[in-house]
Amino acid sequence: MTQPSAERIGKEIDELVSLSERLSRDASSASAALGSERIAELSSLVARGGQLIRRLYGASSQYQNSLDRVLKIANFSTMHSNWHGHVAELAGILKGIQSDIRTGMVDDFRALAQAEIFADFLEMSEHLLDTGYKDAAAVLLGAVLEDSLRKLAVRTNISTTQPNGRPLTIDPLNVALARDGVYSPLIQKQIMSWANLRNDAAHGNFAKYDSEQVRQMLLFLQKFCSDHLK
């Protein structure tokens, strides 16, 4: 699934906050229940806001829990001067997201989640290595290496695809990242060697490397991910 750009996300949340504040304000001063057009606005806010929350934070986030709680309020679609607190709460949730986006907190959340994913894969690789499955560990570490380079490229606005649309592999990504100063030529050379080990593992050339080399690759990736993907 294509991820929306930061500009599109910012535009969407600004619009949702503006709509929710206007609806909350109008509901608080309405002598009679707002009609079907305003209820449709409320439904749109919930649908669009819920989709944004799930894409930015996941389905089990605090924002999702807060939205679910508001949606359980009795007579949710009713809005007038004596019954409008739920609309104000919805506006508050959306303003919280807007603040996260404007201050860069969303990027921090994503980086942390990515780091945790990589840590899980590295831990799994270590377990495979410790239990004698060096080849499986090498393949998994190779996947972590390629994916980490791709994440770094996206973060630094380096293209991750060829002109024909096919994804770049480790070698061209490594060259581009080093050329742009994301890491040093020494790191570039180390990545080249680990890419060769990964290719041997992926093509069944298991005799070309040993467990100690795989362990060195693991140690390299642990430090690399800590330095560049935190």
Residues 94-144 pLDDT 10s: 998 888 888 776 655 555 445 454 566 788 888 888 888 899 889 888 888
Query: Looking at the domain assignment, is residue 182 inside a domain?
Result: yes
Q: 146-151 long-range contacts, Cβ below 8 Å, gap at least 24? A: 146/170, 146/173, 146/198, 147/118, 148/118, 148/221, 148/224, 148/225, 148/228, 148/229, 149/173, 149/174, 149/177, 149/191, 151/114, 151/229
Same domain, 116 and 51: no
Same domain, 98 and 18: yes
Last residue of a domain, one of 72, 103, 134: 103
Percentage of residues in the chain with pLDDT exceeding 90? 50
Same domain, 26 and 70: yes
Whether 168 has a pLDDT exceeding 60, the answer reads: yes
Would you state the pLDDT for residue 58? 73
Same domain, 161 and 205: yes
Local confidence band at 167 (pLDDT 50, 70, 90 cut-offs): confident
Query: Looking at the domain assignment, is residue 41 inside a domain?
Result: yes
Last residue of a domain, one of 103, 131, 150: 103
Same domain, 70 and 95: yes
Would you state the pLDDT for residue 155? 85
Residues 26-82 pLDDT 10s: 999 999 999 999 999 999 999 999 988 887 877 777 888 999 999 999 999 999 999
Residue 185: which domain range?
106-228
Same domain, 49 and 127: no
Query: Looking at the domain assignment, is residue 1 inside a domain?
Result: no
